[in-house]
C-alpha cells in the first residue's frame, strides 16, 4: 500500500475512535487501524501529534467543501446550504466538539483556522450578495448552528444523520431573508465566546 | 415562613444544584437551600424522591406555560412562539437533559407526562389551524428543537439566554408555513427514539 493511503487509513481510524471517545489511547487507535502500537508511534510521536493530524484533516475537509461551494457560482444559495449539509454529513462539527480542549493549536492549525474562517466569510458574502441569506446572520451564528445540529444523536448513525438533515432544512428556511419576520434579537456570539468555550478548536467548523 | 414557601425554596435550590451537577449529593442541595441535611431528609426520604419532586415541578411549570398559551386565542402564533421562549428562559429543557437517566418515573410523573404531551398537541393544533405553523412539524420535532437550543451555553447565563432567544427566533422563522421552501426531509423522530435516548424524561419538554 503506498504511504499516503496508509496515512489516510490511520487518520480515518483515529477519527472514528476519537469520535466515540476523545480520550481513547494510542493502543485503541492502533487496534482500529489494524496496526501495532509501535507502528502508530513511528508515524505520530505522541497522542498530541496524532490529535493535531486529525484536527488538521478536519480543517482540510472543511475547507475543501467550502472551496467546492465557492466554485458553484450559478446558485450561491444551493452551494451554501449544500456546503452546510456536507459539513454535517461528514461529522466535522461532531469531531470538533469531541476534540474540544484536547488539542494544543500549533502554527499549522492556526493557519488552517484562518483559511477556514476566510473561506467561510467568502461563502457568506456570496449567499448574502445573492439576496437570499438574511443579512443579520454572521459567521459565528453558523458555527453555533452547525454545533447545535451536529450534536443530534439518537444512537443510530443513519437515523441521526437523517434527523440532522431534517433540522438543517428547517434552519436553512429560517436563514432566508424572505423568511425573516424581524431582525434576530440580541448580538451574535463574539469570537471570544466561541474561543473561550471551545478553546479555539471550534473554528474548525467556522 | 409558611410550609409551601419553604418547599418552593428547597425545590428552587435543588433545581439550581442539579442543573450544575445532576449527581450532586443531598448535602449539596441542603447547603444551597440553607438548611441542614436532616431537614432535607425529613422532606424527601432519599435523593430519588427529591429528583422526582424536581421533575414533577419541571412538568408543572411546562404545563402552566402551555395552558397560558392555549388561553391566548387572539394570536395562536404569538402564543406558540412565546410559549417556546418561556420554556427555554425557564431552563426546562436544560433541567430535563440534566436529569436524563437519573429519575425513575412513577405514576405521578407518567400522568404529568401525558398531560404535557396532550397540552403541547393542543397548542400545535392551534398553531397549525391558524395556517402559520408549517404542517410537516410534529410534537417530536419540537422536543428536539427545544433540546438543541436549550443546550446552548457559553459560560455566562445572561449571554447564553440571549443566544438561545436569538436561535429560537431563527428557528421560529423557519417553522412558519410561508417560509417552507420544501417539505422537511426524512421522517420526524419516533417516540421510541426520544424515549430510548432520554429514558423517558425528555417528554417533560414535549
Cα gap B76→A54, rounded to integer Å: 49
Q: Which residue has the cell 412562539?
A: B81
Per-residue model confidence as pLDDT tens digits over B135-186: 999 999 999 999 999 989 888 889 999 999 999 999 999 999 999 999 999 9
Residue B195 has pLDDT above 70, yes or no: no
User: Chain B residue with minimal CA distance to A142?
Assistant: B167
Cα gap B143→B156, rounded to integer Å: 24
**For residue B173, what is the DSSP state?**
H
Cα gap A134→A132, rounded to integer Å: 6
Q: Do B186 and A163 touch (CB under 8 A)?
A: yes
Q: Which fold has domain A55-205?
A: Tetracycline Repressor; domain 2 (1.10.357)
Per-residue model confidence as pLDDT tens digits over B34-67: 999 999 999 999 999 999 999 999 999 999 999 9
User: Which residues of A fall below an 8 Å CB-CB distance to B?
Assistant: 137, 141, 144-145, 148-149, 151-156, 159, 162-163, 165-167, 169-176, 178-182, 184-189, 193-194, 196-197
Residue B4's pLDDT is 55
Percent of chain B with pLDDT over 90: 72
Residue B20's pLDDT is 87
Residue A206 has pLDDT above 90, yes or no: no
Residue A32 and residue A13 in contact, taking contact as beta carbons nearer than 8 Å: yes
Using CA atoms in the order B26, B27, B32, B37, what is the torsion angle rounded to 10 degrees?
A: 90
User: Which residues of B fall below an 8 Å CB-CB distance to A?
Assistant: 137, 141, 144-145, 148-149, 151-156, 159, 162-163, 165-167, 169-176, 178-182, 184-189, 193-194, 196-197
Q: In this complex, which of A154, A173, A189 lies closest to B154 when CB atoms are compared?
A: A189
Spell out which residues of chain B touch residue A181, defining contact as CB-CB under 8 Å: 172-173, 176
Residue A4's pLDDT is 55
The SS3 call for residue B118 is helix
Q: Do B145 and A163 touch (CB under 8 A)?
A: no
Residue A192's pLDDT is 75
The closest of A122, A123, A5, A104 to A56, measured between CA atoms, is: A104
Q: How confident is the prediction for chain B on average, in pLDDT?
A: 89
Residues 6 or more apart from A67 whose CB is under 8 A from it? A119
Rg (CA), chain B: 18
**For residue A206, what is the DSSP state?**
-
The closest of B54, B31, B35, B195 to A155, measured between CA atoms, is: B195
Q: Which residue has the cell 402564533?
A: B77
Per-residue model confidence as pLDDT tens digits over A59-104: 999 999 999 999 988 888 999 999 999 999 999 999 988 888 889 8
pLDDT band at B1 (very low <50, low <70, confident <90, very high): very low
- Between the alpha carbon of residue B80 and those of residues A143, B75, B86, B128, B162, the distances in Å are 27, 9, 10, 10, 19
Task: Report residue A95: phi and psi, to 5°.
Answer: -65, -40
Per-residue model confidence as pLDDT tens digits over B72-97: 888 889 999 999 999 999 999 999 88
The SS3 call for residue B31 is helix
Smallest CA–CA separation between A60 and chain B, in Å? 26
Residue A20 has pLDDT above 90, yes or no: no
Smallest CA–CA separation between A142 and chain B, in Å? 11
User: Chain B residue with minimal CA distance to A144?
Assistant: B152
Residue A16 has pLDDT above 60, yes or no: yes
DSSP alpha helices (H): ranges in chain A? 3-20, 26-33, 37-43, 47-70, 76-89, 92-99, 107-129, 139-150, 157-175, 191-198
Residue A201 has pLDDT above 50, yes or no: no
Cα gap A169→B183, rounded to integer Å: 9
**For residue A101, what is the DSSP state?**
T
Q: In this complex, which of B153, B155, B162 lies closest to A186 when CB atoms are compared?
A: B162
Residue A199's pLDDT is 44
Residue B66's pLDDT is 96
Amino acid at each position: 500500500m503506498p504511504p499516503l493511503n496508509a496515512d489516510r487509513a490511520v487518520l480515518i481510524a483515529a477519527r472514528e475512535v476519537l469520535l466515540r471517545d476523545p480520550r481513547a489511547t494510542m493502543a485503541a487507535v492502533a487496534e482500529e487501524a489494524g496496526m501495532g502500537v509501535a507502528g502508530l508511534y513511528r508515524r505520530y510521536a505522541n497522542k498530541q501529534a496524532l490529535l493535531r493530524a486529525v484536527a488538521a484533516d478536519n480543517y482540510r475537509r472543511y475547507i475543501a467543501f467550502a472551496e467546492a461551494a465557492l466554485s458553484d457560482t450559478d446558485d450561491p444559495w444551493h452551494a451554501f446550504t449544500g456546503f452546510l449539509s456536507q459539513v454535517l454529513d461528514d461529522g466535522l462539527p461532531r469531531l470538533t466538539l469531541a476534540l474540544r480542549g484536547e488539542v494544543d493549536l500549533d502554527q499549522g492549525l492556526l493557519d488552517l483556522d484562518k483559511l477556514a474562517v476566510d473561506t467561510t466569510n467568502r461563502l457568506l458574502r456570496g449567499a448574502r450578495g445573492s439576496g437570499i441569506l438574511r443579512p443579520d446572520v454572521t459567521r459565528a451564528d453558523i458555527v453555533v448552528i452547525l454545533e447545535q445540529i451536529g450534536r443530534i444523536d439518537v444512537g443510530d448513525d443513519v437515523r441521526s444523520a437523517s434527523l440532522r438533515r431534517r433540522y438543517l432544512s428547517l434552519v436553512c428556511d429560517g436563514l432566508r431573508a424572505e423568511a425573516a419576520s424581524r431582525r434576530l434579537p440580541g448580538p451574535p456570539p463574539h469570537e471570544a465566546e466561541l474561543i473561550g468555550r471551545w478553546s479555539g478548536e471550534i473554528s474548525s467548523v467556522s
